[in-house]
Every structure is written in C-alpha cells, then in structure tokens.
Amino acid sequence: MSFLKNTWYVVAHAYELAEGMISRKICNQDIVMFRTSKGSIAALEDRCPHRFVPLSMGRRVGDTVQCGYHGLRFDGAGTCVEAPNDDETQKARACIKSYTVVERYAVIWLWMGEASRANPDEIPVFGFLSDKEKFGSCQGYSYPRRLRLFQIYKQGSTRRRYGLVHALAPSLSFG
C-alpha cells in the first residue's frame, strides 16, 4: 500500500507528551515520540536497528531513549549515543530515522516525507483546537456502564445516538 508522504499528519495531542514516550503507527511506520528537556519533540523510527525491538518498549534516559533489549541509546536526532560495552563500531552504525515534527494548535504535526520539503507554513490553520476562549474540548470520554436509556434521552440524545453508544458498550442496560 502506498501512502501520501509529503504532507503533515496530526499524530498526537501535545498533552500526551508531558512525560514518557508514545508510539504511533503512521503510514504503516511505527514511530516513537518524546519531549526533550528543552521542550522540543523527538520523533524516531520505533525500531531498534540491532534486533528490531520497538524502542517504545524501552525507557527514557534524559533526552534519549534506551532500547530495552541490549541497551543501545539514541538521542532525539536518531544518533546512537551509547552502545553496550562501548562498542564504537556498533555505535557508529546504529542510527535510526528521525522525523520532522511541529507542535502547533495543541497538537503534534509530523512530516513523513522528504525532510527538505517539510514546510511548517503549509500546516493548515486549526486554531480552534487551541482557542480556549471560544472552544472547549474534552480529553477522553467516560460514562457509567449501567447507564439507563431514560438517562440518555434526558441528556438530549436521540435513538440513533443510543445505537452508537450501545455499539460501544454492549453491557448497557435499558431502564
């Protein structure tokens, strides 16, 4: 399958990168992301070049990510900065692809194509996402699993909407 690469993809809410790291599959490519101590965002191929273990299964060490298998460590540019047993040859060979990312409108935009063509001016205007005066947003959605039908109607929902809720929560009971 081919994908549109030279374009910006929204890959995460900014708040998701408050700590730790997250992994996303974009254009069939696993990508691990984390925020550095300087506030920038690193986006790397989520695959250790040694034995192909997802780096997102490893751990953060300062502004780097360390593979959980044999300990190769990569900075935000994808450069290997530490190799087990200080093997300099392995360190020099073991680099991974990094991606261009931009944080704008409270979300993270990622460029999957040629880095030289990544132009942040081409990011569409999604100002409403970060305009907290005019717009509200919710992060996550929860409801009581034993929600009764009359409660849904009371909240102004239609029968059609109930069908959707029911599809998402098979144990939903009628009142």
C-alpha–C-alpha distance, residues 103 and 84, integer Å? 33
List 7, 29, 30, 50, residue binding ligand FES (CB under 6 A): 50
Contacting range for ligand FES; rule: CB under 6 A; set: 28-36, 48-56, 145-153, 160-168: 48-56
C-alpha–C-alpha distance, residues 105 and 2, integer Å? 28
Does 60 participate in binding ligand FES (rule CB under 6 A)? no
C-alpha–C-alpha distance, residues 45 and 23, integer Å? 9
How many residues touch ligand FES under the rule CB under 6 A: the total is 9
Does 91 participate in binding ligand FES (rule CB under 6 A)? no
Does 67 participate in binding ligand FES (rule CB under 6 A)? yes
Does 13 participate in binding ligand FES (rule CB under 6 A)? no
Structure tokens at 78: 């994808």
Instruction: Put the strands of the sheet holding 8-13 in their side by side order.
Output: 8-13, 107-111, 100-104
Nearest residue (CB) to ligand FES, 2 versus 85: 85
H/E segment holding residue 161: helix 159-168
Name the residues that contact ligand FES, by CB under 6 A.
Answer: 48, 50-51, 53, 67, 69-72
